[in-house]
Amino acid sequence: MIETVKCASRTRSGRGVRAAVLLAALTLLSACGNSAGDGSHPCTLIGSLEGIGVKVAPKLANRVADATLTVCWDGTCQKRVLRLREESPEAPRSPGDPVMTTGTPTAPRTPATETPRTPQPVGPPGFAVVHDLPQKPVRVTLVFKDRQGATVLDRHITLTPKPTYPNGRDCPPGDPQANLTVAEDGSLTAR
């Protein structure tokens, strides 16, 4: 709350009023809190995903039905499914008419008959989340397949992930990322 106070008396030099204004300004600035080291830029809790961003030429992307990205460093590799476009929600499936079904019944799935799958972290289209990504050179392999399962692209590139700064350079860094571009001819370029 800000109050306006009328001063009944004033010193000859006005030092009392200036000191009060200065003190109020300093109090207001210190109340703005949570800022960078020099106090000039607020740092929020906005973070960034760690991983690899891939921009694919549209003509090539249109031919791809399945894309994987594998990142390796220090003897460890992480393989990720790479979504190249937004997925549209599936059309609703009707359960069918049990009397008219001609298919063979299948055994019900139970946890004992299914292979356990580790859920993959999902990022936005064109981005593969890769946990523990180091800030040193990594080998990235991209494999694209078409609707028939034929390999459209199988290439690799070495990239060096760098820290991101979602709040600007005056704030602590976010998670590391690397980015690459896939040209229409399949060539890979770090960006």
HEC string of the chain?
A: CCCCCCCCCCCCCCHHHHHHHHHHHHHHHHHCCCECCCCCCECCCCCCCCEEEEEECHHHHHHCCEEEEEEEECCEEEEEECCCCCCCCCCCCCCCCCCCCCCCCCCCCCCCCCCCCCCCCCCCCCEEECCCCCCCCEEEEEEEECCCCCEEEEEEEEECCEECCCCCCCCCCCCEEEEEEECCCCCEEEC
**6 or 18, higher pLDDT:** 18
| Position 175 pLDDT exceeds 80 | yes
Query: What pLDDT, on the 0 to 100 scale, is given for residue 81?
Result: 94
Query: pLDDT of 115-133, one tens digit each?
Result: 344 556 667 899 999 999 9
**Mean pLDDT score of the chain, rounded to an integer?**
74
Percent of the chain with pLDDT over 70: 60
Q: Hey, where are the domains in the chain?
A: 15-44, 51-85+120-190
CATH number belonging to domain 51-85+120-190: 2.60.40
Q: What is the pTM of this model?
A: 0.63
**Band of residue 42 on the pLDDT scale cut at 50, 70, 90:** confident
Q: Please tell me the predicted confidence (pLDDT) of residue 89.
A: 57
Amino acid 85: pLDDT = 82
Which pLDDT value is given to residue 38?
53
11-15, 20-24, 89-93, 158-162 — which one is most confidently predicted on average? Answer: 158-162
Average pLDDT for 16-40: 45
* Percent of the chain residues past pLDDT 90, beyond the cut: 50
